[in-house]
Amino acid sequence: MRWVKALLVAVLASAIAAVAKPAPRTHPRPTRLADTGLYSDFASRTVDSQNLPYSPQYPLWSDGARKRRWIHLPPGSTIDARNAEAWVFPVGTKFWKEFAWSRRVETRFLERTSDGWVYAAYVWADDESDAVLAPEAGILSGQEVAPDKRHFIPSVKDCESCHRAGRSEILGFGALQLSSDRDPLAPHAEPVADDFLSLAKLARRGLVRGLPPDILSSPPRIAASSPRGRATLGYLHANCGGCHDSIGSLASLGLTLRYPLSARDALSVPALAAIGRASRIQLPGAKGTSVWLSPGDPSSSAILARMASRNPVYQMPPLGSKVVDEEAVELISRWIGEDLKGSSP
């Protein structure tokens, strides 16, 4: 009878193996930044000419870091932009973002593989002699961003929590951010060199396909009632809209700060629906129910209060910053206090 039991066990094991899902393939991350393909010559820090530089018109606040960014598209490939709000990048696409203060501190790396996006962060040596893969759990760097506050190089989970929260895993590279109609009041706007990518250049070089004709003929621009409103909505789009969107893990909150290309006038901007709307977070010391945006009253507006806090319970964004963006707080405070004054839900 033992052989019968053994046969039954073998048959059962074979059946389980037949229906079990295969283990997901893993894509090892290079241990050195020099091996990711960013540089044609690491010693001289010469960036490979196949890696194209760009700068979003509304940069993400990162405690005052200076940034440089590049994208690599496999030869002969194109970005699928038929959904203008969520571009699809070909397998083999790579992105890099360098963070620097007085020196290079960190370079983040994303690569599109056949199994999805791979995330990595590389920490630079103090003398910039090398940049090596940071631990998956992240690491506190030696870079001081404010007294007693140091830059934290994010964990892989931190990267995933931001990049996978909305409709697109790639933030800062899309039709609005690459528009040639750039906002002169955008907080922390970066200089754009002649060789930087733009939406028009992507189209001319055949690197993007399927874009709606009206987006190519009329560069995307935020519709707002004032220049200050345009800059505010752009800032909220870049710094908050990746998570606070009508699609994604936070859609149930009903707070959409991502600017949609379909908004054709200042009254159709989803962010304005936050006016007078109750916030799920009650502000400390606030009288009555806190609201997201309180026209004419910045101090009672939860969006601004959370931007101006670095209390881990309240701060927004919850990751990636230890220093309040005072320039943006001032901009948005004036927008709420002056531009929105008299507005109603």
Shared domain check, 234 and 87: no
In a domain, 194, yes or no: yes
Shared domain check, 252 and 270: yes
Collect all residues with Cβ–Cβ distance below 8 Å to 80 and sequence separation of at least 6: 87, 88, 89, 90, 209, 210
Last residue of a domain, one of 160, 189, 220: 220
| pLDDT of 26 higher than 80 | no
Return mean pLDDT, the chain: 90
Shared domain check, 204 and 322: no
User: Nearest-CA neighbor of 126 among 96, 107, 149, 102?
Assistant: 102
109 burial (CB, 10 Å; 0-12 / 13-18 / 19+) is: buried
In a domain, 23, yes or no: no
d(CA 198, CA 175): 9
In a domain, 291, yes or no: yes
pLDDT, residue 290, reads 84
Shared domain check, 168 and 34: yes
- Report the range of poorest mean pLDDT among 73-77, 78-82, 285-289: 285-289
Shared domain check, 41 and 182: yes
Q: Are 87 and 174 in contact (CB under 8 A)?
A: yes
pLDDT, residue 82, reads 95
Shared domain check, 139 and 57: yes
Global pTM value: 0.90
In a domain, 19, yes or no: no
Last residue of a domain, one of 196, 220, 244: 220
H/E run at residue 304: helix 302-307
In a domain, 13, yes or no: no
Last residue of a domain, one of 186, 204, 220: 220
Q: Give the model's confidence band at 150: pLDDT under 50 very low, under 70 low, under 90 confident, else very high.
A: very high
Shared domain check, 266 and 179: no
The tally of domains found in the chain comes to 2
Q: Give the model's confidence band at 27: pLDDT under 50 very low, under 70 low, under 90 confident, else very high.
A: confident
Shared domain check, 203 and 272: no
pLDDT tens per residue across span 224-252:
999 999 999 999 999 999 999 998 888 88
Shared domain check, 257 and 185: no
Strands of the chain, DSSP E: 39-41, 46-47, 52-53, 66-72, 79-80, 94-100, 104-113, 116-124, 131-133, 139-146, 149-153, 208-209
Query: Which structural domain, as residue segments, surrounds residue 199?
Result: 29-220
Q: Give the model's confidence band at 345: pLDDT under 50 very low, under 70 low, under 90 confident, else very high.
A: low
Shared domain check, 81 and 49: yes
Shared domain check, 227 and 126: no
In a domain, 333, yes or no: yes
The tokens of 99 are what?
A: 């963070």
| pLDDT of 262 higher than 50 | yes
In a domain, 17, yes or no: no
In a domain, 203, yes or no: yes
Shared domain check, 176 and 60: yes
